[in-house]
Amino acid sequence: MHIFELINSASKKLKSKNISSYRLDSEILISKVLGKKREEILINDHQAVKQTEIEEFSNLIERRLLKEPIAYITGEKEFWSKSFEVNRSTLIPRPETELLIEKLIEIYKYKNIDILDVGTGTGCILISLLSEFKNSFGVGIDISKSALKIANQNAKKNEVINRAKFILKSIESNYDKKFDLIVSNPPYVKRVDLKNLVEDVKNYEPKLALDGGNDGLDVIKKVIYKSKEILKVNGRLALEISGEQKYKVSEILFKNNFRLENIIKDYNRIYRILISKKLK
């Protein structure tokens, strides 16, 4: 069989399961099997494929038919023009989180800062920031050993390991220093809403990184309370939230002596990121 035949056949199968990215997914997975860039595959789509490669491709397509996310199947995800290793102990980096990186670069350009990333997961936020802030240092904390292992690998891969430290720790622990910036993409889904998430997320991504408790604010509150203590004066807290939490989180920030500076909407025009400054 040829590449184009495999892509067409797999695309039809994925489309029949209402997977909207059926063509792209097929192209990414054949690229993975053949060990070549997608662009190269598409230019040479009349190339014949070995039987062993056809079988490997079929197995990957079967996984996608079960709604397993492409990033878990390939073991990687692009974020901030970098490749990050992912597995089922980490959330998959989302494009909207790049909006957070973009804004923080605008705020801290040419400055040297100490960063704390709460619930670091793949480490994508901290690593992306350190790749831009060449003389800055950061700590990523998580309560998942498996996630921290991936974060360390990503820091080495993206050449910031000498300025990043990843620690098994909760936000409520003690800290021996203060930070200029605390970032967090915490669990913020209401427990009752977990069952309503799309299959790709609900059945595969770690519940530990999704479950925000009964009101979705359990971890967010802890991050705010602790940030008040471990941020330097005029230090900033950058939080990713769900859209309907904007007013409640803004109120909690205000009550804890933070001034809201930036409210950022995602690509669907939903409130997604709050950046606030700790007052004296």
| Cα 144 from Cα 111, distance rounded (Å) | 31
pLDDT digits (tens, 9 = 90+) for 51-69: 999 999 999 999 999 999 9
Q: Return the percentage of the chain with pLDDT > 90, whole number.
A: 85
Q: Locate all alpha helices (DSSP H) within 133-202, ordered by sequence.
A: 145-157, 199-202
Q: What is the pLDDT, as a whole number, of residue 77?
A: 95
Lowest-confidence region among 35-44, 113-122, 227-236, 253-262:
35-44
Q: 93 pLDDT exceeds 80? A: yes
Domains of the chain: 3-66 (1.10.8), 80-278 (3.40.50.150)
Contact 211, 174 (CB under 8 A): no
Q: What is the pLDDT, as a whole number, of residue 211?
A: 84
pLDDT digits (tens, 9 = 90+) for 157-187: 999 999 999 999 999 998 989 999 999 999 8
Q: What is the pLDDT, as a whole number, of residue 243?
A: 86
Q: What is the pLDDT, as a whole number, of residue 44?
A: 87
Segment 5-28 shows an average pLDDT of 96
Q: 244 pLDDT exceeds 80? A: yes
Buried b (16+ CB within 10 A) or exposed e, 223-260: bbebbbebbeeebbbbbbbbeebbeebbebbeebebee
Q: Return the percentage of the chain with pLDDT > 70, whole number.
A: 100
pTM of this prediction exceeds 0.85: yes
pLDDT digits (tens, 9 = 90+) for 27-58: 999 999 999 999 998 998 998 999 999 999 99
* Amino acid in position 252: I
Q: What is the pLDDT, as a whole number, of residue 252?
A: 96
What is the band of 214 on the pLDDT scale with cuts at 50, 70, 90? confident
| Cα 61 from Cα 54, distance rounded (Å) | 10
Segment 227-247 shows an average pLDDT of 94
Contact 41, 64 (CB under 8 A): no
Q: What is the pLDDT, as a whole number, of residue 74?
A: 96
Q: 192 pLDDT exceeds 90? A: no
E runs forming strands in 5-162: 76-79, 82-85, 114-118, 137-142
Q: What is the pLDDT, as a whole number, of residue 105?
A: 96
Among 168, 162, 175, residue whose Cα is nearest residue 120: 168
Lowest-confidence region among 51-60, 88-97, 102-111, 192-201:
192-201
Q: 280 pLDDT exceeds 80? A: no
Segment 264-278 shows an average pLDDT of 95
Three-point CA angle 115, 120, 124, nearest 5°? 85
| Cα 98 from Cα 154, distance rounded (Å) | 17
